[in-house]
Amino acid sequence: MTPLSGRVAVVTGASRGLGRQAALALAGAGAAVVAAGRDRAALDETCALVESVGASALPVVCDVTDEAQVDALTRSAVDRYGRIDVLVNNAGVASEHRALELDVAEFRRVLETNVIGTFLPARAVAAHMRDRGGGAVVNIGSVMGRSGTSGLSHYGASKAAVFQLTRGWAVEWARYGIRVNCLALGYFPTGINRDRLAEEGVAERVLARVPARRFGVPAEIGPTVVHLASDASRYMTGQVVYLDGGMSAR
């Protein structure tokens, strides 16, 4: 039996990139997947890939910063499958601005998406999990949440907040059988950062900080997401797990 057979996973930011890879990994482990994001056409592509490995999929258009849309996402998942066992909080944004040039609107956009957009799905899904006896929440964080990086102070602050949400929720919700962990990622080239990494000299400077001397491959997040979502980590909660080629070891 696959480790998530019979379970239902909600993945935010599932339209493409790392969210799509998380959805495919969960599907490969036996879960039905509710793929949430803002781009319906891209969600349909994700769901087609999920179904190609034999799993059930439901696309739901959702802006994770909109409370009503997040509540509707949760209802859609429960109406379709009767349960939610796993939430992968993957939706997020990033940008690079030195602090003296950072405008308040951009700072708010990053915080709203990465912090409030993590809180709202977790609150909605955890209320359901509490009532049915437990589940697993996997927040997607970043190594930037633990170290200072020029031009990324606002992004790093948002991801440090995700670390603390993870720990606080783990303490609050353990009594309900809900586990909460964070997968903190290093550099994985995706649509969110690929153009920046392609600029002259940028990739070389980044890789100089990575002991493994390479970028992550998006599919590499899958096994860790499945581990954190499954009973293999049933005594693990409140932890930040780094998948970063050794960056956090420095």
Return the domain boundaries, the chain. 8-242
Q: What was the pLDDT predicted at 147?
A: 86
Give me the mean pLDDT over the 203-207 stretch. Answer: 89
Q: Under 8 Å CB-to-CB from 79, ≥6 apart: which residues? A: none
> How many helices and strands (H and E) does the chain possess?
9, 7
Instruction: Look up residue 82 and give its DSSP letter.
Output: S
Q: What was the pLDDT predicted at 131?
A: 97
Q: What length is written for the chain?
A: 250
Q: Is residue 199 scored above 90 in pLDDT?
A: no
Q: What was the pLDDT predicted at 150?
A: 87
- Catalytic residue ranges: 155
Give me the mean pLDDT over the 9-35 stretch. Answer: 98
pTM comes to: 0.95
Domain 8-242, CATH among 3.40.50.1470, 3.90.1150.10, 3.30.1330.10, 3.40.50.720: 3.40.50.720
Q: Is residue 1 scored above 80 in pLDDT?
A: no
Contact at 8 Å (CB) between 191 and 175?
no
Give the model's confidence band at 26: pLDDT under 50 very low, under 70 low, under 90 confident, else very high. Answer: very high
Give the model's confidence band at 149: pLDDT under 50 very low, under 70 low, under 90 confident, else very high. Answer: confident
Give me the mean pLDDT over the 115-139 stretch. Answer: 99
On average, the pLDDT of the chain sits at: 96
* Gap between the Cα atoms of 214 and 237, Å rounded: 29
Q: Residue 194 to residues 94, 166, 197, 211, 223: CA-CA distances in angstroms?
A: 12, 28, 5, 20, 23
Q: What was the pLDDT predicted at 105?
A: 98
CA 100 from chain centre, in angstroms, equals 29
Q: What was the pLDDT predicted at 226?
A: 99
